[in-house]
Structure 1
Amino acid sequence: MTTPKVTLANRNALARRRSRLLLYGVLITLSVLFLAPLVWNTLYALKSGAENSSVHVHLLPQHPEWGNFHSALTMIDFARYTGNTIFLAGISAVLVTASSSLVGFGFARLRGRGRGPLFTIMLATTMVPQILTVIPTYVIFTRLDLINTYWPWVLWGLASSPFNVFLFRQAFAGLPRELEEAAILDGCGYFRIFVQIFLPLVRPVIATSFILSFTWVWGDFITPSIFLQGDNTTLGVAMAAGYSENGIVLKNVLAAGTIFYVLPVLVLFFVAQRSFARGVATSGLKG
């Protein structure tokens, strides 16, 4: 009588083992696909200019040129442009996170006429490509004499981000209303409720908003190339223009520079990846 039960249990265990192996296989395949461009870029950076332009393509560098990494750091003022980018991305991420959390709290916890349509209109702006707004904003900031300054990013940060507002709104909407009612009975205003009670409960979403905002500004190339000039520009723009000799782009040096370029973002993500994953997962879909 126990044989069928044992057989069924064995079949279930075998099915779970197969599904786990399949999952691991998919994850390993995806990891290889994601890492392949980084590995290829590293190998390309170790090749000499003659080897990269040769008709005979070799996967591995024949004579590794470690000096390409030194050239990437010395051909431009790498430290200065890195500092510019970190400052610009950092201040923008802080302001976007602060303003988006405040707006998201308002949409989630405050009642008012037109709240629903306003939220819908705000989300609809995410479908407008950024490139369509570059020229109008450039004209506006030119007339305000803010070109080649960091003030545009400050103003954009104060205006919040629709996607981040959505994340905060979903997180705040999922918190118990009893917390808010108890705080009101104790004499707290909404701003104090927001700062002292609600914000500490959505720390993963704060981390998510900061990471998304930071990486967006860090990886942006079009806006800094238009709004900033000279020593005020960002690292990506400086790399695109600085790694050349006699008008010829040194692709191997550029490849070495891109490895340094992605390191801060990778470090930020690995440090905060757990909070990032929790923030996306706990934002929920509650209306």
Structure 2
Amino acid sequence: MTLSRRAAVYMILVCVLVLLLSPFVWLGITSFKAPSELRAVPIHWWPHEPTWDNFRQALTRFNYLGYARNSLMIAGIYAVLVTLASAWAGFGFARLNAPGKRIVFGVLLSTMMLPGVVTLIPTYLLFAKVHLVNTYMPWVLWGLAGAPYLIFLFRQFFSNMPKELEEAAIVDGCGQIRIFWRIFLPQSWPVIATSLILSFSWTWGDYLAPALLLDDDRTTLAVKLATGYATPSGAPLNNLVAAGAVMYVVPVLAIFLIMQRGFMSGVATSGLK
């Protein structure tokens, strides 16, 4: 690649990076602006007097930490359960033999093409029949059912693990359950980290399911952020919305920074000569 072509590629990448980061930069700048600066003409691109009071008001205008606790509980429970359930299902598809396994796996993958919003109303009616509306049990059941994409990830990972690991465990008298818990699952930290990050992010940022299934006291922070920062007449307080949104992404960034170490561990061939 010539120098001029490489410079052109770098310029394109920089432009794409700027386009991707500009909404987040603007959100962060807006979170420090006073209300008067949001209505100023011409637009003030940078706050003249940055204020931290927006974050204080964002926390106190409603029970921000209480709704954050609800979101954290739902997202944490779902992330752990769906990771374990998907890992177990992926292990079965990868290492166990059963009639019709390929057909079942194909049907499972086909469900990824079905948008979740299509099944939301039937799901609500089903949960209403068994009196699980306004409880956190739907997220427990969804977690125990696994997620097709995560099952696919675990299945692909377990399929590539050396067969010698399994054969050595069988010689030592291990059954399939013990093989999964003692050998395969500890080696799958890269996929576990990916699953925890994705499933936590899905649930933390979900708006439709909590809005449909939970009342105002039990709902999540994602739902409350949509309606919690407004004047009595209904006009949005954009500076508080921005401050609340900045704090809203902190848990997702935190779990990503914690779990990213898992990508560097869990080599499947560890312990083999």
Structure 2 length-normalised TM: 0.90
- Give the structure 2 partner of residue 91 of structure 1: 77
- For structure 1, which runs of at least 5 residues remain unmatched after alignment? 1-14, 283-287
Question: Structure 1 residues 112 and 16 mapped into 2: Cα distance closer, same or farther (>3 Å)?
Answer: farther
1:253 and 2:245 correspond: no
1:273 and 2:260 correspond: yes
- For structure 2, which runs of at least 5 residues remain unmatched after alignment? 269-273
Question: Structure 1 residues 245 and 232 mapped into 2: Cα distance closer, same or farther (>3 Å)?
Answer: same
Q: Which of 177, 191, 199 lines up with 2:163 in the alignment?
A: 177
Work out which of the two has the higher radius of gyration on C-alpha atoms and give 1 or 2.
1
1:263 and 2:218 correspond: no
Q: Secondary structure at the match of 1:232?
A: coil
- Give the structure 2 partner of residue 82 of structure 1: 68
For residue 214 of structure 1, report the CA deviation from its aligned partner. Answer: 0.4
1:194 and 2:151 correspond: no
Identity of aligned residues (%): 48
Give me the whole-angstrom Cα distance separating, in 2, the residues matched to 1:145 and 1:104.
31
Give me the whole-angstrom Cα distance separating, in 2, the residues matched to 1:183 and 1:66.
58
For residue 30 of structure 1, report the CA deviation from its aligned partner. Answer: 4.2
Question: Structure 1 residues 53 and 127 mapped into 2: Cα distance closer, same or farther (>3 Å)?
Answer: same
Q: Secondary structure at the match of 1:147?
A: coil
- Give the structure 2 partner of residue 8 of structure 1: none
Task: State how 1:145-184 maps to structure 2 within 5 Å.
Answer: 145-184=131-170
Letter in 2 for 1:264: P
For residue 62 of structure 1, report the CA deviation from its aligned partner. Answer: 3.1
Give me the whole-angstrom Cα distance separating, in 1, the residues matched to 2:237 and 2:255.
29
Cα pair 1:76 1:239 within 8 Å, conserved: no
Give me the whole-angstrom Cα distance separating, in 2, the residues matched to 1:186 and 1:250.
65
Q: Which has the higher helix share?
A: 1
Task: State how 1:1-287 maps to structure 2 within 5 Å.
Answer: 28-246=14-232, 247-276=234-263
Structure 1 length-normalised TM: 0.86
**Deviations 1:146-192, CA, capped at 9 Å, x for gaps:** 11110000000000000000000000000111211221122111000
For residue 264 of structure 1, report the CA deviation from its aligned partner. Answer: 1.0
Question: Structure 1 residues 216 and 43 mapped into 2: Cα distance closer, same or farther (>3 Å)?
Answer: same
Give me the whole-angstrom Cα distance separating, in 1, the residues matched to 2:20 and 2:216.
34
Give me the whole-angstrom Cα distance separating, in 2, the residues matched to 1:233 and 1:175.
42
**Deviations 1:203-238, CA, capped at 9 Å, x for gaps:** 111111111000000010111111111221111111
Question: Structure 1 residues 125 and 152 mapped into 2: Cα distance closer, same or farther (>3 Å)?
Answer: same
Cα pair 2:189 2:263 within 8 Å, conserved: no
For residue 66 of structure 1, report the CA deviation from its aligned partner. Answer: 2.7
- Give the structure 1 partner of residue 271 of structure 2: none
**Deviations 1:19-55, CA, capped at 9 Å, x for gaps:** 8767765654444333211110111222233332344
Give me the whole-angstrom Cα distance separating, in 2, the residues matched to 1:29 and 1:267.
27
For residue 271 of structure 1, report the CA deviation from its aligned partner. Answer: 2.5
